[in-house]
Amino acid sequence: MLCVVGANRLATAAIVTGIERRNSYNSPPLISGPLQEGSPGFVDRVYEYRMVPDNLIGAEYIMVANDDKSLSNYELDVTLSRNATLYLMLDNRMGHGPLPEDTGQFLDPDLNAAGMQWVLALGFVDTQEHIIVYEKGATGIFRWSSVYALNVSAGTVTLFQQCDVTDQQFRNMYGVTVVPEASTVLLLLFGTVLAGRRLKA
């Protein structure tokens, strides 16, 4: 497991080579990482990620603006240097109407009700894993999110609006993280080992 985590950190160092957000004047998103327990989640909040799934530890991720959650024409281009799995972390309260006090622990996002059919149309699938957004400095509530995954090729992927039509206020904006495919991790690790041997020689 330690080798896998280390390899993820090595391979994700430059996996996201560019991001472009459109139709927003809020704080610009940032490429960040490695993702770990207590990592900041947003550029405009002090919220933190908690209970990070093991396969996402060490991954590169994008700190988005939480205020972008209500924009109906939001778009985010994510450009990747290699094949990878792209993850969306979706607030479990999506599609369930106003739930200001609910943690979302016992809910699943209803993407059709929320108006986020594009997530399923792109091919994202529910991994049945969860991550928590700790609303530090605000409500102090631990909000649960579901992790959705999509295998993508090197190039640019466009993500779209959250803008839950059942409620836009009592939500957190979706998060984005990226993990390279296993073959890429092994190739980079092998190359690093060879480079080390050459230096010793």
User: Residue ranges of the domains in the chain?
Assistant: 2-187
Q: What is the mean pLDDT of residues 104-108?
A: 97
pLDDT tens by residue, 3-33: 334 444 444 358 999 999 999 999 999 999 9
Asked if 24 and 68 count as a contact pair (C-beta separation under 8 A), the reply is: yes
Residues belonging to the chain: 201
* Integer Cα distance of 91 and 87 in angstroms: 13
- Hunting for tokens 């927003």 — which residue is that? 24
Provide the whole-model pTM. 0.86
Asked if 91 and 145 count as a contact pair (C-beta separation under 8 A), the reply is: yes
pLDDT tens by residue, 168-198: 999 999 999 999 988 544 444 544 444 455 5
Asked if 103 and 191 count as a contact pair (C-beta separation under 8 A), the reply is: no
pLDDT tens by residue, 125-155: 999 999 999 999 999 999 999 999 999 999 9
The pLDDT score that the predictor gives to residue 201 is 55
